[in-house]
Amino acid sequence: MTTPVAVIVDAAAYAQAVEDAVKASAGYYAGGTSSLDDDAYDRLMRGIAAWEAEHPDQVLPESPTGKVAGGAVEGDVPHTVAMLSLDNVFSPEEFTAWTASLARRIGHQAEQFSVEPKLDGLATAARYTRGRLSRLITRGDGTAGEDVSHAIGTIEGLPSELAEPVTVEVRGEVLMTTAQFEHANEVRTAHGGQLFANPRNAAAGTLRAKDRAYTVPMTFFGYGLLPLPDTDTALAARLGEGAHSDLMAQVAAYGVNTTATTAVPDVTARTAEQVLARVKEIAALRAELPFGIDGIVIKADLAADQQTAGSGSRAPRWAIAYKLPAVEKITRLLEVEWNVGRTGIIAPRGVLEPVEIDGATITYATLHNPADITRRDLRLGDHVMVHRAGDVIPRIEAPVAHLRTGDEQPIAFPEACPRCGAAIDSSEQRWRCENGRNCHLVAALTYAVGRDQLDIEGLGHTRVVQLVEACLVTDLADLFTLTRDQLLRLERMGETSADNLLTAIASAKDRPLSRVPCALGIRGTGRSMSRRIARHFATMDTIRAADAETMQQVDGIGTEKAPSIVAELAELSPLIDKLAAAGVNMIEPGATPPSPTTGDTMDGDSPEATKATKATEATAMPLAGMTVVVTGAMTGPLEKLSRNQMNELIERAGGRSSSSVSKKTTLVVAGEGAGSKRAKAETLGIRLATSDEFATLIADFIG
């Protein structure tokens, strides 16, 4: 990816560009929202640099080029060694060109590189005196920074005491993990504050804020270690000579957090090809990381190479940032649409001025619920920060409040269901049409008969529309009492199609119980949860007899979900009765209901105790206690299975299926074309199996 350069045509445009960049930079470093997103800022900076290269005699003194933090920040605590920024590259070609220029500078190819995630937070220096954390300083303009020691004690990974009584400076990034960011926004809004636009902003605002009525935690990741004037001479000499990778191991040994404990630990590489392969791996893992990264930092690892390469006023020549495409862009919120889903939930969706994020044009973004709109104080016409990572649905983070013109309009909430006009139940955060599943019956039925639910072949969306419009079906159960004559009255329905459809409907009656809760559209029960409920209770009668506490015995159901599932089951009672009367199977083959002697559902054993008993019962199974991730295309005996069927198989064999690889994963089944999940498994040292090896392992459970 090459970020295009902003074109600057004359001196006036250049002056304006400098002003815009300085202003944006000030917002960025001060913890307010910048008026430009990262991508727009990079383009502007490249444009400014290009113009200055052509007109060296007209460079403005306030120009942000050549300055750390674009010259936008201040501070009065001098750094002992300048705290520099990094130059950027945007493509493999630019990176290879950088390695060549480094080789020219040092007289040979760099022997070894360190390849690290570029953490998206704030550069911070932590000074330790005889092992105690004595001072915390921001990068500032690189030569002096701001004292933010008031934040000591609120930053995870930055201990107040090191494992050794050494006097050193650890440099690194202060950031908020996704969970910390969400928590910070909750606390901030509860105190009447405005939402932070993103974790970086939240960390910047929080780190610099003094005397706040509340504290919210942040996280530190170290990426450098250097001596201070008082450092013991022998240690100072060792630090001066140590390879960067050895220094980072030392930082971790002192007890300071580094990326070593994450899915993207620092690695060393010997060639540009190896570096680029690692860049790809880190990029593939980006969306799943619990913290933001905006690129990969590549450093000459050996101290001698670093010393020979030296540094410029803004950035070292021995390191470079390989920028990844931005996952956030600023665009305008044009409209809010209210759509009714298959369960009757009325969900708002933002219509955006189209914006390209990481190669995709984004026109819609989720807005969760009305309370969320209010909490974010969004208005029509607002400039908003939109976030899109991986294949996740884009979301609006926050309005860029200082770009408001005063013409923005409040967002109107619907007073009646936008689909059927019925009243709205707004008692919960997510609003719901009082007609519930019947409001958008076509969507509810189409989902219920889908491949992973009741799997009725030949009953696609168009047929469902026909059946509903002809009033032949008013709920899911009506499907099972359809007659041949009724079907033949439909347009484009011949005798063969009608017979095939009736056969498909008849065989759907025999699906395992595990397909029923999700087919009913019980909120909070996707395919995998539906299977867990069915396997736990074994019969629909036992499921329906469960109270909220008993429901919590199911793995993954907590105090919040349990009562709502119980309430929905009660709401769906007439429909479940009707389905059972029509002959739909309500039993899970091979499962046994929780019995009174082995952790009863009814006698008051704790939900945790019953979960444990169920787990012990399963130990005879080949996948007992294992968390399995399937990735890539299956071959051999497993070739025809959908992902859902694979997950069902894993669970039948006693395992737990998951879609993402983490430290908790025990086995990754990597089929043909497996990519990032396989790479992550290798990085984390997780056991891998081919499709055939896995088929052998669970042979008794196939079919």
Which residues are within 8 A (CB) of 97 and not within 5 positions of it... i.e. 6 or more apart? 89
Name the residue nearer to ligand IVH (CB basis): 119 or 653.
Answer: 119
**Number of neighbouring beta carbons within 10 Å of residue 137:** 24
**Number of neighbouring beta carbons within 10 Å of residue 453:** 23
Of 81-89, 250-258, 369-377, 378-386, the window that binds ligand IVH (rule: CB under 6 A) is 81-89
For the stretch 179-192, what's the b/e string if a residue is b when 16 or more beta carbons lie within 10 angstroms of its beta carbon? ebbeebbeebbeee
Name the residue nearer to ligand IVH (CB basis): 86 or 667.
Answer: 86
**Torsion angle of C-alpha atoms 51, 56, 58, 59, degrees rounded to 10:** 80
Name the residue nearer to ligand IVH (CB basis): 72 or 626.
Answer: 72
Of 82-90, 191-199, 244-252, 330-338, the window that binds ligand IVH (rule: CB under 6 A) is 82-90
Name the residue nearer to ligand IVH (CB basis): 319 or 667.
Answer: 319
Site for ligand IVH in 420-449 (CB under 6 A): none
**CA–CA dist 593, 596 (Å, integer):** 9
Looking at residue 235, what DSSP letter applies? Answer: H
In the beta sheet, which residues pair with residue 349?
Answer: 337, 366
Q: Give 581: exposed, middle or buried? Use CB within 10 Å, 0-12, 13-18, 19+.
A: exposed
Of 117-125, 236-244, 272-280, 378-386, the window that binds ligand IVH (rule: CB under 6 A) is 117-125
Name the residue nearer to ligand IVH (CB basis): 171 or 329.
Answer: 171
The minimum distance between CB 160 and ligand IVH, in angstroms, equals 22
Which residues are within 8 A (CB) of 478 and not within 5 positions of it... i.e. 6 or more apart? 472
Annotated catalytic residue within 67, 118, 329, 677: 118
Of 78-86, 411-419, 429-437, 458-466, the window that binds ligand IVH (rule: CB under 6 A) is 78-86
The minimum distance between CB 682 and ligand IVH, in angstroms, equals 22
Residue found under tokens 């020691």:
149
Strands (E), 318-449: 319-323, 328-340, 346-357, 360-366, 379-380, 383-387, 395-399, 409-410, 424-425, 432-433
| Per-residue binding letters, 138-167, with ligand IVH (x by CB under 6 A) | -x----------------------------
Report the chain's C-alpha Rg in angstroms. Answer: 30
Residue 584's identity, in one-letter code, is V
Residues 373, 377, 383: CA angle, nearest 5 degrees? 100
In the beta sheet, which residues pair with residue 433?
Answer: 424
Name the residue nearer to ligand IVH (CB basis): 86 or 228.
Answer: 86
Name the residue nearer to ligand IVH (CB basis): 70 or 599.
Answer: 70
The minimum distance between CB 143 and ligand IVH, in angstroms, equals 13
**CA–CA dist 145, 158 (Å, integer):** 19
Annotated active-site residue 578? The verdict is no
- Asked if 529 and 556 touch (Cβ cutoff 8 Å), the reply is yes
Closest CA to 624 of 684, 596, 666, 669: 666
Name the residue nearer to ligand IVH (CB basis): 135 or 523.
Answer: 135
Name the residue nearer to ligand IVH (CB basis): 121 or 159.
Answer: 121
Of 313-321, 370-378, 597-605, 636-644, the window that binds ligand IVH (rule: CB under 6 A) is 313-321
Q: Which of 24, 36, 86, 668 binds ligand IVH (CB under 6 A)?
A: 86
Looking at residue 149, what DSSP letter applies? Answer: G
Residue found under tokens 């019953």:
610
Name the residue nearer to ligand IVH (CB basis): 251 or 529.
Answer: 251
Q: Does 116 sit near ligand IVH (CB under 6 A)?
A: yes
Residue with smallest beta-carbon separation from ligand IVH:
123
Q: Does 106 sit near ligand IVH (CB under 6 A)?
A: no
The minimum distance between CB 315 and ligand IVH, in angstroms, equals 7
**CA–CA dist 287, 295 (Å, integer):** 12
The minimum distance between CB 77 and ligand IVH, in angstroms, equals 17
Site for ligand IVH in 319-378 (CB under 6 A): 319, 321
Name the residue nearer to ligand IVH (CB basis): 297 or 698.
Answer: 297
Element (H, E) at 77: strand 77-78
The minimum distance between CB 220 and ligand IVH, in angstroms, equals 12
- Asked if 502 and 482 touch (Cβ cutoff 8 Å), the reply is yes
Q: Which of 141, 173, 455, 605 binds ligand IVH (CB under 6 A)?
A: 173
Site for ligand IVH in 186-225 (CB under 6 A): 223
Q: Which of 140, 316, 394, 512 binds ligand IVH (CB under 6 A)?
A: 316
- Asked if 603 and 555 touch (Cβ cutoff 8 Å), the reply is no
Closest CA to 100 of 228, 271, 345, 217: 271
Of 25-33, 46-54, 83-91, 238-246, the window that binds ligand IVH (rule: CB under 6 A) is 83-91
Name the residue nearer to ligand IVH (CB basis): 124 or 343.
Answer: 124
The encoded tokens of residue 387 equal 């976030």
Q: Does 530 sit near ligand IVH (CB under 6 A)?
A: no
Residues 313, 92, 356: CA angle, nearest 5 degrees? 90
The minimum distance between CB 223 and ligand IVH, in angstroms, equals 4
The minimum distance between CB 100 and ligand IVH, in angstroms, equals 20
Q: Which of 18, 89, 119, 396 binds ligand IVH (CB under 6 A)?
A: 119
What is the DSSP code string of 397-420? Answer: EEE-GGG--S--EEPPPPSS-TTT
Site for ligand IVH in 622-681 (CB under 6 A): none
Q: Does 297 sit near ligand IVH (CB under 6 A)?
A: yes
Closest CA to 300 of 509, 113, 490: 113
Q: How many residues form the binding site for ligand IVH (CB under 6 A)?
A: 14
Closest CA to 176 of 146, 197, 148: 197
**CA–CA dist 507, 501 (Å, integer):** 10
Site for ligand IVH in 220-239 (CB under 6 A): 223
Of 111-119, 360-368, 369-377, 386-394, the window that binds ligand IVH (rule: CB under 6 A) is 111-119
Q: Which of 6, 18, 123, 467 binds ligand IVH (CB under 6 A)?
A: 123
The minimum distance between CB 245 and ligand IVH, in angstroms, equals 12
Closest CA to 401 of 375, 380, 377: 377
Q: Does 118 sit near ligand IVH (CB under 6 A)?
A: yes
Of 80-88, 329-337, 595-603, 671-679, the window that binds ligand IVH (rule: CB under 6 A) is 80-88
Q: Is 12 helix (H, G, I), strand (E, B) or coil?
A: helix
What does the binding site for ligand IVH look like in residue numbers (CB under 6 A)? 84-86, 116, 118-119, 123, 139, 173, 223, 297, 316, 319, 321
Give catalytic residue positions: 118
